[in-house]
Amino acid sequence: MRILHLLASLDPRAGGPAEGVRQGGVMLRAMGHQVEVLTLDRPDAAFLRDFPLPLHILGPVRGNYAYCEQLVPWLQRYVRDYDAVIVNGLWQYHSFGTWRALRRSEVPYYVYAHGMLDPWFKRTYPLKHLKKWLYWPWAEYRVLRDARAVLYTTEDERLAAHESFWLYRATEAVSTYGTNAPPRNDAELREGFLAAYPHLRGKRLILFLGRIHEKKGCDLLLRAFANVAALDPGLHLVMAGPDGNGWLATLRAQTAQLGLDARVTWTGMLQGPLKWGAFYASEAFALPSHQENFGVAVAEALACGLPALISDKVNIWREIAADGAGFVAADTVEGTEENLRRWLALDADARAQMRSRGRALFKARFTVEAMARDLLNVLERDPFTLTAGLHA
C-alpha cells in the first residue's frame, strides 16, 4: 500500500504520536509498503534531520491552531499518489484541512484519535471544552463523520470517546498500538545512565517517564512516594520527561515541601541510550495517569522487564492486571501508594516472576509488528465491515 501520515508536528516533546508514526512507518516499509509523512513543522526543525521516512514539510504555521495555507492545495494535488491518508490527532488544522481537501476524494482518510476525545479533558478543563464545543459541529465532528474509520488503540478508548460530545458520528475501528523491542545491551545501557547520574548508583529506583503534565498524575506519585519512602532509605524516585505546560516548578516546590529533595531526581527528557538506561537501572515503572489511551512508555517498561504500577485510567490496564505484569489501582494518592506498597512487599522471587510476565506480555501484544499488522487489516478491510459508532 501507499500510505501518507499527517501530523501537526513530529516534535518528540509533544508525546507518542510522532514516535508511533516513526516506528510503525519503518516497520511497514520493511514489510514492503510505501510510507511517507506530511508535517506542518518548520523545515529547519532539528528533530526532522534524522527522521527515517520520506517527509513533506509544509510549515511554518500560524497560531496555536497550526493553520497552514499550503495543506489543502498540496493534498488535492498529490492525494492520488496514495491509497490511504492517516490523520494523527485532532484539534489542529491538519485534521480539518484534511477533511476540506479529501471529503469528496476517492482516496480514503483515517483518523487516529490518540486519546484526544477522552472525557477527562472535558471534566478537567471545562472552559477549554466549551471552546471546543463551539468548534466541534463545523469542524472536528465532520472530520470524524466522513473518515473511512476513526482508529482507537483500545476498546476502553473507543467507548470513552462517546462521552465527550453528544453530537458524535463515526465509523470506528480498534487497532492495537505498539513499540519496538528495546536494545539488549542492558548492562552497558544501565552503566551509561548511572555514569550520567552517579548519585543514583546503589539505589532502588522507581521510574516515571513521560511528559510532566497534570494528566500524568505526577503530583499523586510524589505524595504517594513520600508516604512510603521511610520503608527503605534506598528508595529513589526518578522523574524523567519534558515539562509539558510549565508545571515543573510547582512539582519541584511540592517535592521540597514533602521533604523529598534528596529522594527525587528530575532528569528532563531522556532519549536514546539514556532513556533505555533509565529503564534498565530501575526496578519498577510508575504511571498514575488520569488519562492514557495506550501508554507507549508502559509498553517499553514491560519490554525491559519493569513491572508497571499504573492507574486504571491507563487503557491497557486490563491486560497488565490479567497477565500479572504489574499492579493497578485508582488514579488517587491512595491508589498510587497501594501500588507502591504492593510492589515493595514482594519477595525477590515474586518480583522476578512479575518481570518475566511483563516481557511476555509485551511480546504477545504490544510490539510494533502487531501494530503494523493491525493497521494494515483496517486499511485493507471492506468499509462495510467497520463499526458505525453513533452518539446523540
* pLDDT tens string 191-212: 999 999 999 999 999 999 999 9
Alpha-carbon distance 46 to 39, whole Å?
Answer: 14
The confidence score (pLDDT) of residue 383 equals: 72
Does the pLDDT at position 391 exceed 90? no
The string of pLDDT tens digits covering residues 138-180 is 999 999 999 999 999 999 999 999 999 999 999 999 999 999 9
246 C-beta neighbours (distance < 10 Å), count: 8
Locate 30 and state its grid cell.
Answer: 520493511
Question: CB–CB of 204/232 below 8 Å?
Answer: yes
* Percent of all residues in the chain with a pLDDT value above 90, rounded to a whole number: 93
The confidence score (pLDDT) of residue 353 equals: 98
Mean pLDDT taken over the chain: 95
The confidence score (pLDDT) of residue 245 equals: 81
**Domain assignments of the chain as residue spans, ordered by start:** 2-179+369-387, 186-366
**Residue from 42, 114, 109, 117 nearest 75 by CA:** 109
The confidence score (pLDDT) of residue 392 equals: 42
Asked, colleague to colleague, whether 2-179+369-387 and 186-366 share their fold, the answer is: yes
Question: CB–CB of 300/280 below 8 Å?
Answer: no
Question: CB–CB of 320/244 below 8 Å?
Answer: no
**Domain spanning 2-179+369-387: CATH superfamily:** Glycogen Phosphorylase B; (3.40.50.2000)
Largest CA distance in the chain: 64
Does the pLDDT at position 89 exceed 50? yes
The confidence score (pLDDT) of residue 15 equals: 72
Does the pLDDT at position 244 exceed 90? no
Alpha-carbon distance 158 to 160, whole Å?
Answer: 6
Q: Look at the block and give the residue holding cell 522476578.
A: 352
* Lowest model confidence (mean pLDDT) among 64-68, 299-303, 382-386: 382-386
Alpha-carbon distance 314 to 154, whole Å?
Answer: 10
Alpha-carbon distance 228 to 360, whole Å?
Answer: 29
Report the top-level CATH class of 186-366. Answer: alpha beta
The confidence score (pLDDT) of residue 114 equals: 94
* Percent of all residues in the chain with a pLDDT value above 70, rounded to a whole number: 98
The confidence score (pLDDT) of residue 389 equals: 62
Q: How confident is the model at residue 16 (pLDDT cuts 50, 70, 90)?
A: confident
Residue type at position 283: E
Residue 236 carries which DSSP code? E
The confidence score (pLDDT) of residue 382 equals: 73
The string of pLDDT tens digits covering residues 264-282 is 999 999 999 999 999 999 9
Mean pLDDT for the stretch of residues 335-355: 98
